[in-house]
Amino acid sequence: MDSSLERNKQSGQLRRIQACLQELLNDRLAGILLCGSAVLGGLRPDSDLDILVLIRGELQPEPRRTLTRRLLYLSAPPGHRNARPLEVTVINLNDLAPWRFPPKCEYQYGEWLRGELESGGLPQPYFRADTALLLWQARMHSRILSGKPAAELIPSIPFTEIRRAISRARPELLAWLSGDERNVLLTLARMWYTLETRDICTKDAAAQWAASRVPPELVPLIRMAGEAYLGRSPDHWDDLPAETHRLAEIMESRLAELLETPAPHLQAPEPPS
């Protein structure tokens, strides 16, 4: 798709989402932030639009139902011609002070939930480690759609909490390797990058970074994952189970080493002014 057409599609979708949130949440809305690939280096063919919504107070049942119904309309499955998939996360700022781990997510919409939501389900609050990663990332890399900058709304999160979040996420992630090879390998690479650099990057950038750090015979696999993520070439994993598991084990071993190394109790890097 022509880049100008893609930008127009994206900006129109974001305007509609912003108007929806402002109408539903009114004076409880503290901020709307665009996160993820859209601000880290460009959207990929199947990338979600990642939107973090910061509110004051709980999301009541009726707004929760209405928001879900409207997001089902505004979002689209990957590959749709006229709209991108949405991942909308709602955080109650009252739950962030004092800080508790894992943090509470008030609401999350994603296309992987579409079948359940179309059958009448509603996203409910939950506590999960990866919410800490999302908040930490938003403080450093996000674009304001409405309200104040992330750093003025989200408290500073010590990097020790990011290490805890990555440690918690590892077992569940590895369980999905067979059948979701590309995503798992790229996520492991990005976790590795974060633990080494105390920063975040796109999955394809993490693949490039990891390619210089894995055994030479496994470089083609991590590069294949990165190229497929960019939509440049297909990936095939059925005939590479041993190599895929070895690559995952090597990256997992590196994560374990980094997590076992004592880290100074330092705050995560502050976002650029």
**Quick check: helix, strand or coil at residue 87?**
strand
What would the mean pLDDT of 51-62 be, rounded to a whole number?
A: 96
**Catalytic residue ranges:** 87
- What's the CA angle centered on 184, arms 166 and 129, to 5 degrees? 25
The CA-based dihedral angle spanning residues 264, 140, 72, 123, taken in that order and rounded to the nearest 10 degrees: 30
Strand partners, 88: 51, 109
Report the distance separating Cα 226 and Cα 179, nearest Å.
17
Report the distance separating Cα 209 and Cα 193, nearest Å.
7
Q: Give this prediction's pTM.
A: 0.88
| Domain layout of the chain by residue ranges | 3-156, 160-260
Measure Cα distances from 66 to 34, 63, 114, 118, 123 in Å: 21, 5, 15, 13, 12
Amino acid at 146: S
Confidence at residue 92, expressed as pLDDT on a 0 to 100 scale = 98
Q: What are phi and psi of 119, to 5 degrees?
A: -90, 5
Report the distance separating Cα 157 and Cα 152, nearest Å.
13
Confidence at residue 1, expressed as pLDDT on a 0 to 100 scale = 45
What would the mean pLDDT of 71-89 be, rounded to a whole number?
A: 91
The token pair at 128 is 């999960």
What would the mean pLDDT of 40-52 be, rounded to a whole number?
A: 85
Percent of the chain with pLDDT over 70: 92
Which element (helix H / strand E) includes 62? helix 61-74
Query: What digits encode the pLDDT tens for the residues 239-251?
Result: 999 999 999 999 9
The token pair at 81 is 């011609």
Q: How confident is the model at residue 81 (pLDDT cuts 50, 70, 90)?
A: confident
The token pair at 65 is 């139902």
User: Does pLDDT of 177 surpass 50?
Assistant: yes
For 60: left if phi > 0, alpha if psi spans -120 to 50, otherwise beta; the answer is beta
Query: What digits encode the pLDDT tens for the residues 185-224?
Result: 999 999 999 999 999 999 999 999 999 999 999 999 999 9
Confidence at residue 43, expressed as pLDDT on a 0 to 100 scale = 75
